[in-house]
Structure 1
Amino acid sequence: NPTEIKAIKEILNAQKECWNNGDIDGFMEGYWNSEELIFTSLNHKPAFGWENTLERYKNSYPTKESMGNFNFEISELKLISDKSARLKGKWELIRKDDNPNGLFWLDLKKFDKKWLITKDSTISFEINIPLSLLECDKNNPS
């Protein structure tokens, strides 16, 4: 259903706009405001509930600079039913000193006439070791 696909994409684009304006509260409007919301990311315990997810975002991104400029690309979007969808894609943050990026998987449900994220699983491909340290020093082998 192209209308539903468009509505889901509009939610994500609205989230992107809020994020890039430093508005985490606005960004969170794309999530289901329920204790049943699930947010998981690699290297962190899952956050259960809307308030805990909001707190996780605010602690992880305390300033507009730390939030950076958010971009995403949807690689797959499937309607499971007329009220349920699954989406996967790539994300990236463009910041002054780094460019974290990774993958995300979202489950969405339609409540009345509005699609909301009910489950968010995100992984990051950040590498904290400079590549130069991973290469062998040919002049000084250990």
Structure 2
Amino acid sequence: MKKLIIILCLFSLFNGYSQSDDEADKKEIQKILKKQRLAWSDNNLEKFMEGYWKSDSLKFYGANGITYGWENTLERYQKAYPTKDHTGKLSFKINDISKISEDAYYVLGEYHIKREVGNADGIFMIIFKKINGEWKIIADTST
């Protein structure tokens, strides 16, 4: 009986750590999204891109198909949003952050851009992966 109680206590303890680790991961991901939102709203696309994996394996999927690579994704943003009037002020509504594996989460949300050239709204799903101790977006689908 004593062993059973010890096992149950250890299970509860480890389960609690797992949940707190998940919450810490989610907070870190939300912190990155906040930095991106602020950078976008300052028309600083390079800083916005710091949230993305700087790799040729990064994938962005939008209305014009798949863009591969960090540099190509940055160029895509620069062409589509060339001025402050185009980037405007970004806000997010995060609808879900769910764990895929120990080192990956997906985020479902909505974006809203208020801007001089006309507002823009859409939805997104992004995949975050922990790479070299940092959470990075490895795939982004936005419409």
Q: TM over 0.5, yes or no?
A: yes
Identity of aligned residues (%): 35
Tell whether 2:106 aligns with 1:86: yes
The structure richer in helix per residue is 2
Aligned-pair Cα RMSD in Å: 0.9
State the Cα distance separating 1:84 from its structure 2 match.
0.5
- Residue in structure 2 matched with residue 72 of structure 1 by the alignment: 92
Q: Note if 1:31 corresponds to 2:52.
A: yes
Is 2:133 the counterpart of 1:122? no
**Please, what TM-score do these two structures have when normalized by structure 1?**
0.83
Task: Say whether residues 1:46 and 2:54 are aligned partners.
Answer: no
In our comparison, the structure showing a higher alpha carbon Rg is 2
CA contact (8 A) 2:86 2:117 kept: no
Structure 1 CA distance, aligned partners of 2:132 and 2:61?
A: 26
Structure 2: unaligned runs, 5 residues or longer = 1-21
Structure 1 residue runs of 4 or more that deviate by more than 4 Å after TM superposition:
none
State the SS of the aligned residue for 2:43: coil
Shift of 1:112: 2.4
Partner of 1:95: 115
SS of residue matched to 2:79: helix
One-letter code aligned to 1:74: I
For the residues of structure 2 that align with 1:17 and 1:101, how far apart are their CA atoms? 17
